[in-house]
């Protein structure tokens, strides 16, 4: 499978962010994926020197991933939200050795906007569990597969975690690269263990990020693992959703919904699709409240006005803008100036220097896909 450098960068930045956040099990997942990606990139490097550099980076990422294990055991860190619950009693080579598993503590209320998506999920996952008799009477089945798609930084991962929180379910984070990785063993066994572990919980969410990577690049792609693994996952999915007391949901996320093939989207598989788009004006307002909330603000800071200026920015963009704006008076204060609150001017300067991360052309492609199922 040919990997792109952009895939590597995305995986690496997710891994590093989780590591900084003290979320070591999640960090390990992404760092291994990024390392694997780098090994593949090394194999196609043009010069020996470039290959050596690539391999060096891969080795560093794998070392950092190993370091995550030590940190999980000693319990250092864990400052992040949604700490990983250890499952030492599982012992040996169980799925818990390599799958990031946690009980997230962010809920729907922590997510700005996306009200339709939340309501869809309540209907499919939460109400049937809370009202089993009514669900039975009306033939509403519980669980199944959900595909969250949309541009980067719009809250897909957050949404998957929040579903787990709302259901008090265990959250398993997995990526295609990890399933296919030789670092964790045989792909078929990995999938079996993963689904077995999830079925053993009273409620569980299996979240697969970058789910489009499961689809072979070409029909003729002769990667034999891929050819065995995809049908197996699809089969596990089909047997995954019909329990009455157990809420089991498979959630896939992707930035490239158009790369998924029909087999994955068939009924019983990832059959509920939800578009996680850019925040609308009320959601941007709430994002400002969330991300500036506890920071000292000048009286002239006007969230209503900023809300207009931030049209087209994602939740992750707004988070980033808040961080950069706070850094301005902070750096001044470190330099010996009188500490002052963040001003409207600080924020507007940062906005001006930070264009939206999602460009209009790619946004149009998502909108088209949301409307027509093709793009």
Residues 151-180, interacting with Mg ion (CB under 5 A): 156-157
**Dist. CA 365–CA 256, nearest whole Å:** 10
**Dist. CA 222–CA 121, nearest whole Å:** 37
Of these, 42, 140, 265, 290, which contacts ligand ATP (CB under 6 A)?
A: 290
Q: Contacts with ligand ATP: how many residues (CB under 6 A)?
A: 19
**Dist. CA 111–CA 153, nearest whole Å:** 12
User: Taking the CB of residue 273, how many other CB atoms lie within 10 A of it?
Assistant: 18
Across the strands, what pairs with 249? Answer: 144, 205
Q: Which is closer to Mg ion, CB of 17 or CB of 265? A: 17
Q: Which is closer to ligand ATP, CB of 36 or CB of 212? A: 212
Q: Which does 199 bind (CB under 5 to 8 A by kind): ligand ATP, Mg ion, none?
A: none
CB of 285 to ligand ATP, least distance (A): 11
**Does residue number 152 form part of the binding site for ligand ATP (CB under 6 A)?**
yes
List the x/- string, 241-270, binding to ligand ATP by CB under 6 A: ------------x-x---------------
Q: Which is closer to Mg ion, CB of 113 or CB of 329? A: 113
CB 276 within 8 A of CB 114: yes
| C-alpha R_g of the chain | 22
**Does residue number 315 form part of the binding site for ligand ATP (CB under 6 A)?**
yes
CB of 60 to Mg ion, least distance (A): 23
Of these, 77, 82, 155, 329, which contacts ligand ATP (CB under 6 A)?
A: 155
The tokens for 202 are 């009273």
**Dist. CA 1–CA 187, nearest whole Å:** 15
Q: Which is closer to ligand ATP, CB of 167 or CB of 197? A: 167
Question: In the chain, what is the greatest distance between 2 CA atoms, to the nearest angstrom?
Answer: 68
CB 256 within 8 A of CB 266: no
CB 253 within 8 A of CB 157: yes
Q: Which residues in this chain contact ligand ATP in the complex, by CB under 6 A?
A: 111-114, 152-158, 253, 255, 279, 287, 290, 315-316, 319
Q: Which residues in this chain contact Mg ion in the complex, by CB under 5 A?
A: 156-157
């Amino acid at each position: 499978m040919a990997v792109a450098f952009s895939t590597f960068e995305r995986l690496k930045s997710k891994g590093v962010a989780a590591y900084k956040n003290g979320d070591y099990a999640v960090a390990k997942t992404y760092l291994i994926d990024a390392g694997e990606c780098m090994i593949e990139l090394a194999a196609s490097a043009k010069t020996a020197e470039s290959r050596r550099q690539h391999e060096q980076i891969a080795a560093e990422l794998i070392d950092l991933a190993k370091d995550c294990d030590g940190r999980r055991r000693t319990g250092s860190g864990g400052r992040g939200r949604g700490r990983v619950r250890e499952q030492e009693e599982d012992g040996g080579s169980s799925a818990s050795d390599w799958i990031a598993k946690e009980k997230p503590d962010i809920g729907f209320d922590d997510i700005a906007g996306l009200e339709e998506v939340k309501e869809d999920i309540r209907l499919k996952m939460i109400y049937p569990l809370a009202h089993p008799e009514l669900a039975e009477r009306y033939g509403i089945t519980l669980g199944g597969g959900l595909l969250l798609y949309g541009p980067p930084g719009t809250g897909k991962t957050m949404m998957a975690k929040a579903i787990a929180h709302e259901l008090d379910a265990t959250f398993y984070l997995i990526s295609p690269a990890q399933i296919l990785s030789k670092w964790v063993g045989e792909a078929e066994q990995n999938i079996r263990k993963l689904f077995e572990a999830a079925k053993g919980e009273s409620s569980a969410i299996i979240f697969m990020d970058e789910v489009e990577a499961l689809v072979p690049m070409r029909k003729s792609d002769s990667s034999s693992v891929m050819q065995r693994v995809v049908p197996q996952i699809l089969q596990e999915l089909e047997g995954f959703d019909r329990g009455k007391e157990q809420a089991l949901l498979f959630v896939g996320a992707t930035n490239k919904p158009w790369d998924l093939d029909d087999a994955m989207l068939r009924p019983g598989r990832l059959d509920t699709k939800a578009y996680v788009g850019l925040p609308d004006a009320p959601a941007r307002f709430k994002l400002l409240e969330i991300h500036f909330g506890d920071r000292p603000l000048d009286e002239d800071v006007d969230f209503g006005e900023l809300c207009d200026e931030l049209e087209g920015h994602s939740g992750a963009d707004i988070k980033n803008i808040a961080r950069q704006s706070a850094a301005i008076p902070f750096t001044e204060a470190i330099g010996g100036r009188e500490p002052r609150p963040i001003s409207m001017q600080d924020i507007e300067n940062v906005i001006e220097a930070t264009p939206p991360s999602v460009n209009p052309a790619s946004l149009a492609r998502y909108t088209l896909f949301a409307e027509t199922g093709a793009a």
